Amino acid sequence: MNRYAVAVPALSLTWVLFTADLSPGGFLVGGLLGVGVLLVVGAHFPWAPAALHVLRVLPVGIAYLGRFLKALVMANLQVAWIVIRPRLAIRPGIIAFRTRHRSELGVTMLANSITLTPGTLTMDVSPEGDTLYIHVLDISHPDETRASIRHDLEDHSLEVIP
């Protein structure tokens, strides 16, 4: 149970942020739900970090969240611009993106970040786990798209989870 000493407070905080209930009862309910979730899926929980690691990574994680939100806003604006133009000038396609993440959790975090960004969808991961296949709304400039993913998402996600 010691391995969840960080996970339960993190899940409790997540609950409080989602419900916007900053009362002690909100934290208690979040903690109880966190314990419940970990009892059900605890054996499959992929990452149980040490408390010192969390304290070191927390500022980097918050910075990643900020960078992700910036990328999210920019992608929304680009997709909105494509949609409101009189003529749709898109060339959808699939690109391969070789990731530098080595852990399954890191690859999953990056793949989900890409999918949450409008105009992109992670479709598959290679069996080796080092290449993501991404559907993009406009494949006109695949190298620029890869560079954008690397700069806006992967570089910063590597600081959180290698």
- Sign of dihedral through CA atoms 152, 74, 90, 122? positive
| pLDDT score of 153 | 87
pLDDT recorded at residue 2: 59
Distance of alpha carbon 114 from alpha carbon 109, whole angstroms:
9
What does the pLDDT look like over 47-92, one tens digit per residue? Answer: 555 556 666 777 877 888 888 888 888 888 888 888 887 777 788 9
Please say whether the beta carbons of 53 and 102 come within 8 A: no
Q: What's the whole-number average pLDDT of the chain?
A: 83
Distance (Å, whole) CA 28 – CA 19: 13
